[in-house]
Amino acid sequence: MTAPRHVLFLQGPHGPFYQRLAAALVQAGCAVSRIGFNRGDRAEWGRAGPYHAYRGGMAEWAGWLDTYVSTAGVTEIVIYGDQRPQHVAARQVAQARGLTLHCFEEGYLRPHWITYERGGVNGHSRLMELSIAEMAAALGPGERPLAAVPDQWGTLWHHAFWGAVYHGWIALRNGAYPHFVPHRGVSVWQELSAHLRKALLHPVTGLGRRWAEARLRRSGAPYTLVLLQLGHDASVRMHSPFDGMRGFMDQMAAAFASGAPGHHHLVFKAHPFEDGRDALSAHARDLARAYGLDGRVHFIAGGKLGPLLDRARAAVTINSTAGQQALWRGLPLRAFGRAVYVKPELVSDQPATAFFANPKPPEHAAYLAYRQFLLETSQIKGSYYTRAGRANILREVIDRMLAAEDCYDRKRAGVQEPRAMTSHAAAFHVISKRKS
């Protein structure tokens, strides 16, 4: 008799998604287990299957994992993002042992999708190797519809809630994990205090944001939108020349001052989860003074991205998935890091000064092919952070995880991804309805 597939879970998105996914895999005939690195991991896993606490340091982690994989008969590993130290080592172990690495990530086409790939995501995604021409050939002839652009960037409050619960467990009950170090480089207490400060100041910052948006509208000026990311974002640190937002803002302000027409404005849009630890608003004011741009530089703290993009003439980013929202609208886009959408037909390669002067727009037909290819391969409708969103993911992802080939190979071979309830999905439909 063939041994069952053994799926090992490492760290995942906040909330009960891994727990629901593991229960679904058990229903489909797989064995599951989880290695946790802190009390939050333990709480989120519940009773989904065997749990093993890793209490060592990162120096010993790769060897420990390799031994566990061998002795436990692990056949595949599930991770969320591939740049946490634990996941970098897991990716190496999986490659060395020929294990399938299931990678989850936030949707490349947010807000209504999540990403599921194999082997790596973002700068390690197989999409980096595929040209637009190859994508279009895999799709074949036919119309490529473009739906209306949503104005809300995902389930932010649900995401924040589950993140607070997770970090609360770590802050209050993490004594059994003495060597745990958060991947973001700050302590859990620092993270919680920053988010508490942000919550307390929310009424004030909300008023400030609305005033800044009104001031921008009243100016009537054409503007380029700078899509800021979180300074600790692994995609920034691992897939770009920047180690934070201040250096990026410096370069954008200098290029704008040199290249943009005198009546144009520059708008820095903060990430919705920006907590103020890097004082980016003050830095934007300093840059305006330094480059003689008083009255032409705006800083928007959070809020909805859609309305700002609707009125922008162009956008720049490092490698934020928000860049996809700009492409969705047909806006010229310049990216300064590695990202799955950085293709010559979509993203300008102009020097920053030239881009601010006269930005090159994306090719519409190329974007339609690119977007449709993602929708038919790595993107799954749903959210990790809501009950209905998790149910939508589970209806499709189990068959994809159990398939012999990854989504890109299947698409290029003419295989259609499952989009409806299937034999595997039917077995756990009731599970997905449990309260979150």
pLDDT tens series, the chain, 436 aa: 567 899 999 999 999 999 999 999 999 999 999 999 999 999 999 999 999 999 999 999 999 999 999 999 999 999 999 999 999 999 999 999 999 999 999 999 877 899 999 999 999 999 999 999 999 999 988 878 776 655 454 567 888 889 989 989 998 999 999 999 886 655 666 666 666 666 665 666 767 788 888 899 999 999 999 999 998 888 898 999 999 999 999 999 999 999 999 999 999 999 988 877 789 999 999 999 999 999 999 999 988 898 999 999 999 999 999 999 999 999 999 999 999 999 999 999 999 999 999 999 999 999 999 999 999 999 999 999 999 999 999 999 999 999 999 999 999 988 877 664 333 333 333 333 333 4
Report whether the peptide linkage leading into residue 111 is cis, meaning its omega lies within 30 degrees of zero.
Answer: yes
Domain end among 310, 338, 370: 370
Residue type, 211: W
Three-point CA angle 326, 150, 316, nearest 5°: 15
Q: What is the pLDDT of residue 165?
A: 92
Residues 135 and 73 in one domain: yes
Q: What is the pLDDT of residue 212?
A: 85
Residues 21 and 134 in one domain: yes
Specify if 146 maps to a domain.
yes
Contact (Cβ atoms closer than 8 angstroms) between residue 16 and residue 44: yes
Please give the residue range of the domain that contains residue 28: 6-151+378-413
Residues 61 and 129 in one domain: yes
Q: What is the pLDDT of residue 257?
A: 98
Specify if 27 maps to a domain.
yes
Domain end among 370, 398, 429: 370
Residues 247 and 137 in one domain: no
Specify if 350 maps to a domain.
yes
Q: What is the pLDDT of residue 219?
A: 92
CATH number reported for the structural domain that contains residue 29 in this entry = 3.40.50.20
Residues 126 and 78 in one domain: yes
Residues 391 and 340 in one domain: no
Tally the C-alpha atoms within 13 A of residue 432's C-alpha that lie toward its C-beta.
Answer: 27
Residues 136 and 253 in one domain: no
Got the DSSP string for 68-113?
A: HHHHHT--EEEEESS-SHHHHHHHHHHHHHT-EEEEEEE-TTTTSE
Specify if 110 maps to a domain.
yes
Specify if 356 maps to a domain.
yes
Specify if 181 maps to a domain.
no
Specify if 203 maps to a domain.
no
Domain end among 354, 370, 386: 370
Q: Radius of gyration (Cα) for the chain, nearest Å?
A: 22
User: Helix, strand or coil for residue 378?
Assistant: coil
Residues 313 and 364 in one domain: yes
pTM for the full model? 0.87
Specify if 189 maps to a domain.
no
Residues 267 and 351 in one domain: yes
Residues 6+ away with beta carbon under 8 Å from 133? none
CATH number reported for the structural domain that contains residue 252 in this entry = 3.40.50.2000
With CA atoms as reference, report the closest residue to 333 among 308, 311, 316: 316
With CA atoms as reference, report the closest residue to 308 among 320, 295, 326: 326
Contact (Cβ atoms closer than 8 angstroms) between residue 69 and residue 8: yes
Residues 366 and 382 in one domain: no
Domains identified in the chain, total number: 2
Q: Return the axis-axis angle of helices 17-27 and 387-402, rounded to nearest 10°.
A: 40
Residues 366 and 383 in one domain: no
Q: What is the pLDDT of residue 160?
A: 83
Residues 263 and 321 in one domain: yes
Q: What is the pLDDT of residue 102?
A: 98
